[in-house]
């Protein structure tokens, strides 16, 4: 198991105030994607994982470093079932957890074949569902054959997280769905020039750039501008071969929102999600530690 290199320590989450949350990306890339959202559920700390793209041992280690035990996980929300978002090694490990899996109805058959349907599995469709007082509104987007779920987590009055990765292409419906969230986590996968000039086979380039694969940096920037998050943006799923965190940072330098760039092997710091105007996040330019190993 590859352990991430040390990062600047940030305090593990206690119990967020009612109507607020904290969010951290444990890792995000084609090598594995997993994020953690901590909320206040009627006076108790509720821990939700978004995607299971890291192995159970690595996830447990990163959560422990983040001040969270595996048995505290109450919910897992899956965007889709590519192995960098739903690692097959979770097929047996989940039996030791008392957590609920939330998965789109169109992904149920594939998940069953992968052995990833947990003892407590709750499929969702187009309608919002509840997670301990938090409303989660899904929206399916184009990605490969089965599509991918994007989410709006409404945590409290004027407090929300938008989460969208592996989008294929931006859409007006997605903009309306996520408009004005407090914090937006969104993929900025590749630089088109680096993608074209790479040694990747043509079929892979076409898959990524076809409108059913991933968002380019420029597509992401336009999407962020239209969604207009009030506080902070977290950039996800940067390609290690066909992107550069400096390129992404330069495109958003001086924006009204702060931003954080996730890494493939290094968690972000905790990002506060609070009512618009009170979120505790980072300055406009990310820390150099977030560039290292990105």
In angstroms, the CA 51 to CA 87 distance is 9
Q: Is the pLDDT of residue 279 over 80?
A: no
Domain coordinates in residue numbering, the chain: 21-291
User: What is the tens place of the pLDDT at every residue in 122-157?
Assistant: 999 999 999 988 999 999 987 666 789 999 999 999
pTM for this predicted structure = 0.89
* b/e burial code for range 117-156 (CB count within 10 A of at least 16 → b): bbeebeebeeeeeebeebebbbbbbbbeeebbbbbbbbbb
Q: Is the pLDDT of residue 235 over 80?
A: yes
Measured from the Cβ of residue 73, the count of other Cβ atoms closer than 10 Å reads: 21
Q: What is the pLDDT of residue 142?
A: 75
In angstroms, the CA 65 to CA 216 distance is 32
* b/e burial code for range 33-44 (CB count within 10 A of at least 16 → b): bbbbbbbbbeee
Q: What DSSP string runs through the chain?
A: -PPPPP----PPP--PPTT-EEEEEEE-STT--EEEEEEEETTEEEEEEE-B-S-HHHHHHHHHHTT--GGGEEEEE-S--STTTB-TTHHHHGGG---EEEEEGGGHHHHHHHT---SSEEEE-SS-EEETTEEEEEEEE--TTT-EEEEEEEEETTEEEEEE-S-SS--HHHHHHHTT-SEEEEE--B-HHHHHHSSS-HHHHHHHHSSSS--BHHHHHHHHHHH--SSEEEEE---SSS--HHHHHHHHTT-SSEEEE--SSSPPPPEEE-STT------SSPPHHHHTT-
Superfamily of domain 21-291: Ribonuclease Z/Hydroxyacylglutathione hydrolase-like (3.60.15.10)
Nearest Cα residue to 40 out of 63, 17, 23: 17
Nearest Cα residue to 227 out of 285, 186, 281, 278: 186
User: What is the tens place of the pLDDT at every residue in 36-81?
Assistant: 999 999 999 999 999 999 999 999 999 999 899 999 999 999 999 9
pLDDT band for position 205 (cuts 50, 70, 90): confident
User: What is the tens place of the pLDDT at every residue in 80-100?
Assistant: 999 999 999 998 877 778 899
Residues near 127 by beta carbon (within 8 Å), at least 6 away in sequence: none
**Who wins on pLDDT, 264 or 168?**
264
Q: What is the pLDDT of residue 147?
A: 84
């Amino acid at each position: 198991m590859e352990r991430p290199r040390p990062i600047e320590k940030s305090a593990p989450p206690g119990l967020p105030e009612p109507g607020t949350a904290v969010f951290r990306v444990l890792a995000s890339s084609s090598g594995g994607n997993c994020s953690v959202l901590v909320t206040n559920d009627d006076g108790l700390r509720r821990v939700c994982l978004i995607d299971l793209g890291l192995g159970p041992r690595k996830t447990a280690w990163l959560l422990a470093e983040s001040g969270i035990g595996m048995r505290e996980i109450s919910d897992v929300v899956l965007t889709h079932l590519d192995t960098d978002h739903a690692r097959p090694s979770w097929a047996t490990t989940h039996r030791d957890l008392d957590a609920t899996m939330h998965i789109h109805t169109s992904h149920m058959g594939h998940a069953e074949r992968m052995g990833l349907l947990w003892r407590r599995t709750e499929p969702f469709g187009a309608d919002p569902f509840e997670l301990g007082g938090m409303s989660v509104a899904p929206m399916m987007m184009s990605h490969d054959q089965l599509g991918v779920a994007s989410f709006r987590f409404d945590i409290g009055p004027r407090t929300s997280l938008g989460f969208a990765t592996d989008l294929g292409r931006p859409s007006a419906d997605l903009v309306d769905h996520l408009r004005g969230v407090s914090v937006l986590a969104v993929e900025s996968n590749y630089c088109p020039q680096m993608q074209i000039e790479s040694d990747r086979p043509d079929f892979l380039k076409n898959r990524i750039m076809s409108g059913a694969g991933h968002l380019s940096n420029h597509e992401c920037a336009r999407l962020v501008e239209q969604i207009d998050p009030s506080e902070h943006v977290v950039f996800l799923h940067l390609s290690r071969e066909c992107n550069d965190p400096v390129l992404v940072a330069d495109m958003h330098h001086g924006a009204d929102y702060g931003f954080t760039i996730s890494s493939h092997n290094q968690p972000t710091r905790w990002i506060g999600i609070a009512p618009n105007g009170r979120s505790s996040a980072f300055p406009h330019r990310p820390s150099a530690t977030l560039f290292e190993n990105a």
